[in-house]
Each structure stands twice: as structure tokens, then as C-alpha cells.
Structure 1
Amino acid sequence: MSFVNIRRFVATLSVVILSPTSALCADQSELSELDYLNDIPVTFSATRLPQTLSEAPASVTIIDRRMIEASSATTIPELFRLVPGMQSYHIATNASAVAYHGMSDKFPPRMEVMINGRSVYLPLFSAVIWESLPISVADIERIEVIRGTNTVTQGSNAFLGAINIITHTPLSDQGGFIRYTQGEFNTRNAQAEHNQKTSHGHYRVAAGILGNDGYSFEYDAQDPYLKRYFSFESTSSPTLLDTITVDLGYSDGYSSVGDIRPKPGWNFKRREFETNFQQVSWTHTLQNTDELKLSYARAVNNFDARLLSAAEAAQLIQQPISVAQQFLDTNAPISITAETGNMEQHDVEIALKQQPSYNSKLISGLAYRSASAQNRQLLNTREWIKEESTRLFTNWEYSGFTDWTINTGALIEHVSNGSTRVSPRVAANYQLSNQSTIRTSVNRAYRMPSLLEANFENIIYIPPPYTGLYGDVYDYDFIANKDLSPEKLDSIDLGIIFKWPELNAQLDTRVYYEKIEDGITTSYQLQDAAMIASAPLDPDHLYRSYMNRAEWSNQGIEFQYKYQSEESLKPLLVINYGYIDSNGYRNDGNQQGSVTDVFDRLETRNPIHTGSILASITLPDNLNFSLSHYYLSSVRWQEGVKDTDPPNAPYHRTDLKISKGFRLSPQNELSIALIVQNLLDKPYSEFYAENMFEQRTYLQAQLSF
């Protein structure tokens, strides 16, 4: 639906919304959230123990349901623009990435992402493929974001931060809803959810179909998108001491990947995906408040694309089609994009929560993970590559000292390649007054090389008819480095939390310093004698490999101010700001056969300033207005632009959301919302220079029951 059509529709709709006949919409009395705000929300993500933000040993940002509803976000990654210091950016119309304090490209590898505590980080891509997740914005109850390393709790993937997305629980009073969104790029999104209580427990079912036609680029290229998903969650208590939770999910569809600047005559590369997961957990209450929890999760992710044709291969290797076909047969299967593959992951965990005394809480546990992947283009084999890791973790909270809360914890992690590392954390929180708490923490963390980083190898072999004359190998493009070491992080931060219950407001400020050593990055090398002997077609060719050739530091400040009231107009104001100063380098090796290595300075690889403001009010008759504003300073994404190109320019973006609710009956409510992203229509580029974000308009309707 075009912007003009939506505008006309809304103009007509506003007559209905603002007219006296809107008496259908009676005032709704809701439970006050003041107690929730005054006590500062409880989080489990920092230590796996229930803690207020004033007790947690790390900075935690909570995106609650009210913020989600007030925002203009139509995809999950867009919500993270409301987190201080976090970057969310579109790689293409329907592909996004989320990064925090790292050298950012289309696959940010240094942050753990979970849904209800289950990792959705994909080892083959060293990142999260957001568009394939079997949930949508409508399914989310809240998001907890750990700003800073949290390896003690969630393992080495949480090297710089962690995200835990919490969906609506089956125990929620919400009965269900049906939501439909239509708008830019012919977007057609339909979602539904239903919660039910039975004699055997509670369950929640959610499903959705999301899709659009994508943006129209040069060369008549488009990047369409489709996702179908289904999820089921149930909670039952067979005894007073036992709780069993079952969580299942499935999604499939397609999106587009590859360079935003396709070659003339080449369209975007369509990639299909199919994912499913199963998660079962059993919680048993022991004596007093002690608790034993055993959980198992399995996830399967398959990404596929059509095979490369002989004509396309001939264009790439500049050989006749007959020769190209022989290359394809020898190196099969070769897809039009290497960003494909099959993955399977198993996680088993047992954890024990204890309260040894009134002033102390302790959690300890053992976790095992098995990850397998298959992709000949990325792993140089048709066989499955397997990686295993074992983690032993613990965290002890002690509040026996006057006005002090102490958290100490450690993670021992061992991976199947032989690496074993210990990641400790010590934190102390001091309550200055009833309204303010100061927190400091010292961390050492390690990030184990991902399955892809440890095994990435891309070699093109010569067809048998030519091996006698030319050897076995046509090209060494990327070689696996079996000596790759874990990355190391030393960090210290100081945080202050102020809360003003009488003003319904709070302020969370963080000052930090992070030092990363043995950073993993791709680096060029000249072929050695053995390689040259087996590949005489191009003896001077360079190859790349993952190496520990990066080192940098981050220092800066972040804050979030939040004002939220249930009184007249129900005002909500959230202000976020992040400043980061990065210094360091990555060694790109001997490019173009140069004698000396090329060092890429990293000062411009992070945006120095990021900021956002979310403001919302509710007028009589349940009419809500929300404005969002986002700012990102200039940045040279690691992959987004060429080294010779200028960095992405800074941008300001303002979004508007207007919604109106109609009370149809005591149980049923209809709400209609207009969302305009980039309201002032000031196009800006995200990631790739040609990836322009222009004004986008959506109309959304939801029936709750």
C-alpha cells in the first residue's frame, strides 16, 4: 500500500476516531505500574538470580511492553535503538544486524542473543539471522539487555554483551490477539496469539505470516521477504514442587543476501531458510527456597539457495562454459551465495539455586553444548563439522554488609579444540541512599573462536581432466587456522542508578573501559611453497585466514533516563545516549603482495555518538501519540563501504506512531495504529552506501480478546 493511499485512508479513519461516536471506547482501568517502577524491575539475566537493577553486577537495560507498544519498531532489531550504546542497522530492506562495542560488520560475533534463555546464535555465521527467528515484535513481553560482558552467566558468546528476549508467558492474563499490518513495499504481516488455561496447565500458541516485495534497486533488482512461523509453549505443575515447561517453534521462508550492489544482469541472491527448535525444562523446589533446574534444547537451522549455473561460473572464472561446468562438478555443491548451510545445536544444562543464609544467594551449574554445521563452500568438506563445549559456572551474591551487595562469579569453559579458559567477575554495589546506588565491577572474559572462525576454508579444486597438467588446486581463497586462540577482554566499569519514586523516574549511568587483545580478524598471507606447487595457475595469489591480529580498547559513557507514570495522560519518556572512544588496529596482512603489513586503524569503526528519545502520551478516549528520534554519528562499517569510500554520514531519524483503541466489549478491544518511520523524509544510508532508508508508512490493526 503506498503512502498516499494510507494517508487518504487515515484521513477518512480520523473522522471516525475523533468523532463523538467513539463512545464505544470506554476508559480502561489498568493496574498501576508504580510499584514495579519504584522498586526498579527485577532481572534474571545478569546472574540467573532474581535481582533488582540496583543489585545486579552489570548494567541492564529493560525494554518493557509499554516501550515496545510506544515504539515505531516493526522488526525486533529496531527495538535495540532504545538501548544506550547499541547499534541496530539494516544490511538490506529485510536483513538487519545488532552490535555493541565491537568491530561491526554484517555478522557481529561478540554478543549472545537468547529467546527465553535459549541461545539463537548461529555458529556457522558467528551471528544471529534476525529475519529467520520464529517470533515477531508482537510476541515479546520484554527484553533484557546486559550492557557489558556477561560470560560468567551466558558463556563466551556474551563477550561484550547479552540479549534475552522474553516472550509472553502462558501464565499471562492476556487471552489472545490477531494483528495485521500493511504498508511500505507492499508489506503484509498477519500474526495471532492465544493463551489458554486447562486442567493440565497453561499453554500459549502463536503464529504469523510476514512478507513484503522489498526495495527496488538499480538493475531492476529487488530483495523480497517472506516468513511463516509457529510457536507453542506450555507450563504445567504435576506436583506442588515441580514445574515442567515445553517450548517448541518453527519458521520457514526466504530473504535476499549478498552485496547491495549486484552486478548488471544479476538480481539479489534469494536464500531460503527453515528452522525449528524444541526446549524442555524441569524445575524442582528443594527445601526452603533452593531450586534445581534441568533443561535441554535442540535447534536445527537450514539455509539454502539455488546452485550456481555454468554460465554464471564462466563469468566468474573467465573460462568457457564447458570448463566452468567441470569446475562446478568437481567442487559441487556451489550455491549462488556461500551464506547457506545446515546447522544443529544441542544444549544440556543443570543449575542449582541456593540460599545458604538470609544474606546470601548462590547459583552454580554445568552446561554442555554440541554444535554441528555442514557447508562445503565455507568448511571445504561435504561432511559435518562438530564442535563441543563444556561450561562450569557459579555466582555468589552476598548482602550481609551494611549498604553493600557483593557479587563474585566465574566461568570455566572448555572447547573440543583443546582450549580452556577461566572468566571471573567481581562486582560491588553500594547503596548511597534510598534513591541512589553506585556499582563497580572488574571482569576478565574470553571468547572462544566460533565454529566458522576455527574451520573456515574455501579452496577451489581443478577438474580431473586438467590435474595432470595444472595440479590439484585452482585457488586458495581462505585457509583454516588451527592455531587460532580465544579473544581476551579486560574491563572495568562504574555505574550509578538514581531513582525518584515520587517523580516516577530513574536514571542509569555507566562509565566503562574495555581492552580487547588477541582479537580475531581476517588477514591476508602469501601462499607458501607447498601451495604454490599445487596451484601453479596463480603462484602469486594471496589467501586469507582468521588470525589473532587485532587489538583495541573502548572507553566511554552511557546513560538512560526513564520517566513513566500511570496518572493523567500516562506519560512515558525514555532518553538514551552513548559515547564511545575506540582506539586500536587490525592487521590486514600483506595485501597486493606488499612487503609490509597493512594496519587498519579502528578509531572510525564505531560511531562515537548514539542517541534516542522515545516520548508517548495517552489522551482521553484511549488515543495515543508516540514520537521516536534516533541519532547515529559518522561510522565506517567494517564491511559496509570500501576503504577508499567516505564513511557513512551521520543521520537523524524521527518516527511517529498514532494509535486508537475501541472497547468493543469487556473482553474485546480493537486498536488501530498509524506508523510513519523517517517522518521528515530525510533519506540516509545504512551500512552499504546504496542502502537508503526513506520514509516508510504502515497501518496496523489489532483485535484483542
Structure 2
Amino acid sequence: MPILQYSARRLLALLLPAVAIPVSGAAHAATSETAYLDDLPVVLSASRLSQAQADAPGAVSIIDRPMIVASGARNINELFRFVPGFQVAMHTGNQPLVSYHGLSDEAPRRMLVQVDGRSVYSPYFIAGVEWNQLGVDIDDIERIEVFRGSNSAAYGSNAFLGVANIITRAPSETLGTRVRYRAGSEGVNDIGVRVGKQLGDVDLRLTAARNYDRGFSDINDGRRYELATLRADWASNRVDQFEFQAGWTRNALGIGKDNNLTDPERDSSIGTGFGLLRWRHAPAPDEELSVTYYHQEESGHDSFSANVPIPPAQSRLPLTINIPLQIDYGFKAVRDDIEIQRIAHPGDTLRTVIGAGARVDQIHAPLRFNTDETMRVAVNHLFGTVEWRASPRWLFNAGAMLENNALTGTSLAPRLSANYHMTEAQTWRLTANRSYRSPMAFEQKSSMIFVNSAPIATPRFTIPTGTPISQTFRPSPDLRAERITTYELGYLADLRSLASTFDARLFLERARDLIEMRLENSTVGLLPRDNTRYFANSGRADIRGLELTATWRPAPATWLSAQHTELRIDGPGEAATATAANPSGWVEYSAPRHSSALFGAWQFHPRWQISAAQTWVGSMSWYQDGAHRVASYRQLDLRLAHRLPPALARGDIAITAQNIDGVDQTYSPRTSAWGSRVFCTLGLEF
């Protein structure tokens, strides 16, 4: 089947004429880097170098501050609906899912997310990113840079399919006090306070927030989210800057199912605390030495009692027994990470970045790993990038990451790219890279064996406390790192005279040794199981597609952006009916073949703005068989905002209506539906 269907052809027919308009000044002037970057969109996350978006070694999408505000989003995960190639869903009302190019189940783990360079890729369970635990308030975000594609060469093994770097606002830009209150349907009740101060050479920001809602209407999935963060920036002199961040989050979550003995409705909680210290030494515009250290602790609390009756047909015993269980999914994970980085400009046409880092994760989760001992996983890495401007038209970028992971050994992730500036406004890009994803500790070492919490007395015998009852996960010691090889052809046009940009990415991603959950028979415990889980490198996928984005932005607060993605994922060619034995047959369903979005805002009066976002998502399944495929759905959000008159108060008020065009299932047709939600937000400044 051709990769471009009618919908993509129609969008191309509308957009390409604008791109083909002649642009004057075909030849570049040989200028310094500073002059070259003037008035061009600049990104920081693609290669660890500050560079024009047209010079990046891959496709980068930017969600800036005005877009974040106009979206009306309460939660950061919602913003990725506006990035091509992404899938965003709600497993439950308090469990968001975000994935790029599929290959994800209810615990997406193939994308790296950072907050000001601090990785929030969690080490303790299956999920790679806990979106409820990012440790940043959405009002403190300056922009989000999304590198669409694998980028282990710059950020290591977790950057398997993409990287999102959340960049917060400098405290100097948030001086004063702001209070936010939000209320609406489904129990939405949020409050936030931000205080910014300048104390001599130090700029400070303190943010505290609490968000609450009841989740979906028919299940126990309410959420109360609490956050407190501090950031302090100190310029000790003209070349040295220090940055300190600290934060604390706590989520109280409703989980479980009604009338389920082994997974009852209950409350759980998860909390995170972190501290970050960064020193930057920049003696010249193109020279910088930085050292970053952060310490992070996560802990979860989820325990309950159960008394489960087991008939003879399910056990090895001749009579029905009641098994008392005390189940405790609690855990604690501690991370220490330090990294040093040097940016240099050894010549007029060369820029380099080199660095090294070390990370240690310590995980204590007795039930998940069947041990009271603390598990230690160390990761060390070396990285480097060279950018060479060979001529005014040609720019080359080469980078690599050498990483040693205690679970899988050493890997080398290289990247090569060439950017051809056809004119001052139009750039072609060709990129090839290899990336890896090391297994998480749970994937390789999980061993979940449930035991009875009290003696089980029968007329014939007594089963002592601590007897193994059943095993749900067993270790997978032979897991290797996943690998993906990516080839990309990109095109970027920045048409200043039309206030428009156009971005196209054509790609082929070959993923091998994908880690998948498998099932087997187990004889461990009194209850034999035919669905004990383990992990194996049994998956493979070839991902082909095209991503298109066109934006018209005549003013910072007025724009219209259109995007479309065509995606095809081919697995090993096995029937989906056999996926219980080999799940990799499901990969073809794990992303929609077609998805589109429109996102626009109009400031029709100096104090009024209206914005709208419409998305269309094709049928897909979150790494499950065809019976679990979600039907195509769409979502329409509207927002009307008013800046209050100074005579009344400094601030703004907005009303947001989300998903107003219907009720949809975004994770599975068997789960609860995501319905409409309306809320009002008031912000006051002092």
C-alpha cells in the first residue's frame, strides 16, 4: 500500500505551493555563528549545541509559552497532541500515556523526557516516564523542545524513539506574585501560587500547586496532585552562573476495580523529591564549561489485604482453601547523576561539545524483585559532537555516545547528518543514526512471588506463613539492549515574508531486539499458572512514514498550525491470533496509520483571545491484539481568554472546554471513556 493516502496527498497539494514560492537571496553570506542565528528559531536540545532550527541534525518541534497558554492544558502530557507522530491517551483518569511512533503498551518506555536536563525516566518499574511526577508546574514552562526521532548519540540509551526537553522559565522572567485558581466539571479544583523575588544578584522563584479531579465517572481513578518547587539563579560574575533547583511532588491516586479480590478499589500514593545544582562557566560566546549534579528520590505506597478463595480445580489441593494475602507494592528508588560538558569553538567553521557522566540508581522494591536487598544499577557514558560548516550552504554534524550499563554492558550510538541550505529560507536534511534502549531493572530482574500472610489451616494439614502461592513475573537475565537504526530525509522552509513555516520528515526506522512481555507455564507455588510473565528480545518492527507541519503565525498570539502523519509499522508478518506466544505480531496496530491536528489562536482584541484545537486519530491498539483496537476518534478543545482591565485587577480569566465533540475511548474499547470537561481559570498578579 502506498505510504501516502488521499488525505496526505490533499494536504501536500495545499501546502507545497506555498513552499515553492521563490525566495530571494539564494546565496548565503559567510557570516559568524551569532549573525547566522539572528532572528532564526533556535533550539538547544538537538545536539547539545545552541543552533538554528534549520541546522539541527533532526526534526525539532517547539511548543512555546503562548502555545502552552492557548492550549488550555491542565497537564503537560496533553501538549504532545500538537506534535506530529505522537499518540496521547488516558489508560484511566489518572494514568496518561504518551508515545511516539507506537511500540507502546500501558507503560510507554521508549522516549526520554527531561526537565532542564534532569531525566525523569523512572528506573523502578515498567513505565519509562511517570507523567504525574515530572516536578514542574505547567505555568513555569518556557517551552518544550521535542526531537522527533532517536537521539542516543546525544542523550543515551533512553532516547530510543525521541527526546522531549522541558525548559522552564528563568526566575528573572517571573518576578512578582501570581495566584491561579481553576474549577470545573468532573471535580476539577486546582490552585497554584508563584512568588518571584530578586535578592541582589540572585533571582528566586517558589511555586506551590495542588490539582484535583475525580477522573472518569465510573471507576476509582481520582487524583490529587501536590507540588512545590524552588529555583534560584545566581550570576557571581560575568562568566560564572549557578543554578539551583529543588522540588517535591505527591500524587494520591485512586486505583483498583470494584469487586476484584486481588485488585480491589483503594488509594495509593507516589512521591518524588529532587535537588539539582548546575555551574556554567562561559568566558566567550562560543565557549562553555558546565557541571550538573542532581539527586532524586521516588517512593510509592500501595498495600492492601485480601482473602482469596481457591477451589480444587485451580490448585494442587483436594479442597477449597482461603488464602490470606498482604500485598505491598511499595518501593523506593534513589538516583544520583553527575555530568560534565564542554562546548568549544576551535575554528571559524567548527563547533564541538564533549562530555562524560555517571548515574547510579538504587531500587528497593521487595515484592517486585522478591528480595529485601537494595538493587544497584550504574550507567557511565562519554559523548561528543562535531559541527562543521563546510560552506555557506553545507553543514555537517557527527556525534556519538559510548555508554556502559550494568545490566547490558557497553554500546556505541553514532549519528551523522548533513544539512543543505538551498536558500536562506529552505533547508534539506539527511540523517542516519543508531540508538539503543537498555532494559529497565524490572524487565530484567523482576520476580513477583506472592505468599500467604498467615497460616492456612485445613482438616488434614496446615500451610505455614510465607509459603509461595503463585508467581506472576519471573526474571529475564538474558535480555539485551534494544536497537534502532534510523534514516531520515527532512525539509524545512521558513518563509518570513509569509509569516509561515513548513516542516516535512520522511523516515525509515528499523527496530530490532525489542523487549516484549511473554507468557509461560509456571510451577512455582501452590497455584500453577499458564500466564506467568517474562521478557524477551523477541520483537522487531520497521516503521515508515511521513510527518508534515505547516504554521502561519503573523503575530506571537495569533497563528494557525496544521499537521498530518502517515505511519506504517510492519512486524515479522505473523498472524495476530498467535500473539500470545509471540506478541511482536501486534506492532502493526500500535500506532494509527493516519493522524492530523489543527491548532490555532486569534487575538482579535488586545485583551481577548480565542483558540481551538482539533485532532483526528486513526484506529490503533496500545501493543495489544486486534480485538483491543480503539476506533478512530477526534477531539475538539476551545478556549476563550480575557486579560482583565488594569482598573479592575492585573490578571486574566479563561474558560476552556475539552473534548466537546463526544465521548471516546483512547486506550481500549473495554476501558472507561474520556468525556467532555469544562473549567474556568482565574489568574491574578500582584
- TM-score range for the pair, normalised by the shorter chain length: 0.7 to 0.9
Equivalent position of 1:29 in the other structure: none
CA contact (8 A) 1:205 1:231 kept: yes
Does residue 1:386 correspond to 2:385, yes or no? no
SS at match of 2:236: strand
2:591 alignment counterpart: 606
Distance 1:488 1:265, change over 3 A: closer
Moved more, 123-132 or 281-290: 281-290
C-alpha separation between the residues in 1 aligned to 2:82 and 2:444? Answer: 34
Name which of 240, 253, 256 aligns with 1:255.
253
Query: In 2, distance between residues paired with 1:77 and 1:421?
Result: 30
User: Partners in 1 of 2:82 and 2:191 — Cα distance?
Assistant: 25
Cα pair 1:314 1:324 within 8 Å, conserved: no
Matching residue of 1:20: none
Secondary structure of 2:186's aligned partner:
helix
What is the correspondence of 1:572-583 to structure 2 with a 5 Å cutoff? 572-583=559-570
Q: How does 1:438-449 map to 2 (within 5 A)?
A: 438-449=428-439
Structure 1 residues 588 and 704, CA gap change in structure 2 (3 angstroms)? farther
Q: Assess, with a 3 A threshold, how the Cα gap between structure 1 residues 504 and 199 changes in structure 2: closer, same or farther.
A: same
Equivalent position of 1:152 in the other structure: 153
| Larger CA deviation: 230-239 vs 456-465 | 456-465
SS class of match (1:308) = strand
Query: Could you list the per-position Cα deviations for residues 474-511 of structure 1 after superposition, in whole angstroms to 9, with x for gaps in the alignment?
Result: 33322111111011111100100011111111111100
Render the CA deviation track for 1:652-698: whole Å, top value 9, x for unaligned: 111110011113269x6221101011223x11111032321222100
3-state SS of the aligned residue for 1:70?
helix
> Would you say the 8 A contact 1:43–1:51 is kept in 2?
yes
Q: Does 1:230 align with 2:228?
A: yes
Paired residue secondary structure (2:303): coil
Q: In the alignment, is residue 698 of structure 1 matched against residue 683 of structure 2?
A: no
Contact 2:112/2:164 (<8 A) preserved: yes
The one-letter code sitting in structure 2 at the alignment partner of 1:602 is V
Aligned position for 1:98: 98
Q: Distance in 2 between matches of 1:660 and 1:363?
A: 45
Residue 550 (structure 1) aligned to one of 521, 524, 539: 539
Pairs within 5 Å for 1:15-414: 39-125=39-125, 126-172=127-173, 174-217=175-218, 221-258=219-256, 263=260, 268-286=265-283, 289-310=286-307, 324-325=323-324, 328=325, 334-335=327-328, 338=329, 340-414=330-404
Q: Which amino acid aligns with 2:536?
A: M
CA distance in 2, matches of 1:370, 1:136: 27
User: 8 Å contact 2:437–2:482 — kept in the other structure?
Assistant: yes
Quote how far apart the aligned CAs of 1:158 are: 0.5
Q: 1: CA distance between counterparts of 2:133 and 2:277?
A: 22
SS in 2 for 1:502: helix
Give the gaps of 5 or more residues in structure 1: 1-34
1:635 Cα offset (Å): 0.6
Say whether 1:670 aligns with 2:658: no
Who is 1:506 aligned against?
501
Alignment correspondent of 2:20 = none
Contact 2:122 2:128 survives alignment (8 Å): yes
Q: Secondary structure at the match of 1:684?
A: coil
* Counterparts in 2 of 1:691 and 1:586: CA distance versus 1, 3 Å: farther
Counterpart residue identity of residue 703, structure 1: L
Question: How far does the alpha carbon of each residue in 1:589-610 deviate from its partner, in whole angstroms, 9 at most, with x for none?
Answer: 9999x9x867634222211112
State the Cα deviation string for residues 286-311 of structure 1 (Å, max 9, x = none): 46742111110011111111322346
How does 1:520-531 map onto structure 2 within 5 Å? 520-527=515-522
Separation in structure 1 between the aligned mates of residue 374 and residue 116 of structure 2, nearest angstrom: 28
Taking structure 1 as reference, are residues 288 and 184 closer, same or farther at Cα in structure 2, changes over 3 Å only?
closer
Q: CA deviation at 1:171?
A: 2.5
Once the two structures are TM-superposed, the CA of residue 72 in structure 1 deviates from its matched residue by: 2.9
Distance 1:52 1:599, change over 3 A: closer
| Aligned equivalent of 1:416 | 406
Q: Matched residue of 1:417: which SS?
A: coil
| SS across alignment from 2:442 | helix
CA deviation vs aligned residue, 1:423-449 (integer Å, no higher than 9, x gap) = 000000000001100011000111111
Change (3 A) 1:245 1:597: closer
Checking the alignment, whether the CA contact within 8 Å between 2:91 and 2:106 is kept in structure 1 is: yes
SS at match of 1:54: helix
Structure 2, unmatched stretches of 5+, are 1-34
Letter in 2 for 1:241: V
Structure 1 residue 616 and structure 2 residue 605: aligned? no
User: What residue is the counterpart of 2:632 in the other structure?
Assistant: 650
- CA deviation string 1:401-444 (max 9, x = no partner): 23111100000000113510100000000000011000110001
Distance 2:259 2:441 in 1: 29
2:5 corresponding residue in structure 1:
none
Share of identical aligned residues, percent?
Answer: 26
Please state how far the C-alpha of 1:375 moved relative to its aligned partner. Answer: 1.5
What amino acid is the match of 1:562? T
Contact conserved, 1:201 with 1:236, CA < 8 A, in 2? yes
Q: Deviation of residue 321 (structure 1)?
A: 11
Asked if the contact 2:145/2:164 (under 8 Å) is kept, the reply is yes
Q: Take 1:363 and 1:480, find their aligned partners in 2: how far apart are those partners?
A: 39
- Paired positions, count: 643
Deviations 1:57-111 (A, max 9, x none): 0110000011111113221111000000111111111220110013122211110
Partner secondary structure for residue 215 of structure 1: coil
Deviation at 1:587, TM superposition (A): 8.9
Work out the CA distance in 1 between the residues paired with 2:312 and 2:96: 30
Q: Does 1:519 align with 2:514?
A: yes
Deviation at 1:576, TM superposition (A): 1.6
Question: Closer, same or farther in 2 for the Cα pair 1:317/1:586, shift >3 Å?
Answer: farther
TM-score (norm 2): 0.87
Q: 1:526 to 1:263 in 2, by over 3 A?
A: closer
Aligned-residue offset at 1:143: 0.4
8 Å CA contact 2:519–2:530 kept in 1: the answer is no
Secondary structure in structure 2 of the residue aligned to 1:453: helix
Shift of the 481–58 alpha-carbon distance from structure 1 to 2, 3 Å rule, reads same
One-letter identity of the residue aligned with 2:62: I
- Give secondary structure in 2 for the equivalent of 1:178: strand
Contact 1:588 1:598 (C-alpha < 8 Å) held by counterparts: no
Q: CA–CA distance in 2 between the matches of 1:199 and 1:247?
A: 18
The change in CA–CA distance for 1:644 and 1:377 in structure 2 (over 3 A counts) is farther
Note the alpha carbon deviations across 1:595-647, whole angstroms, 9 max, x for none.
x86763422221111211111111225111111101110012225xxx47352
State the distance in 1 between where 2:514 and 2:372 align.
Answer: 29
Q: Is the 8 A contact 1:586 1:601 kept in 2?
A: no
CA–CA distance in 2 between the matches of 1:461 and 1:90? 33
Shift of residue 204 of structure 1?
1.1
| Residue 451 (str. 1) matches residue 441 (str. 2) | yes
> Take 1:390 and 1:588, find their aligned partners in 2: how far apart are those partners?
41
Determine the C-alpha separation between the residues in 2 that align with 1:552 and 1:590.
Answer: 18
TM-aligned CA distance change 1:38 to 1:95, over 3 Å:
farther
CA contact (8 A) 1:37 1:501 kept: no
1:249 offset after TM fit, Å? 0.4
State the secondary structure of the residue aligned to 2:304: coil
Question: 2-side partners of 1:312 and 1:224: how far apart?
Answer: 30
Label 1:238 to 1:554 Cα distance change in 2 as closer, same or farther (>3 A).
Answer: same
CA distance in 1 between partners of 2:471 and 2:262 (Å): 28
Shift of 1:137: 2.0
Query: How many angstroms apart in 2 are the aligned matches of 1:631 and 1:582?
Result: 19
TM-score of the superposition, structure 1-length normalised? 0.85
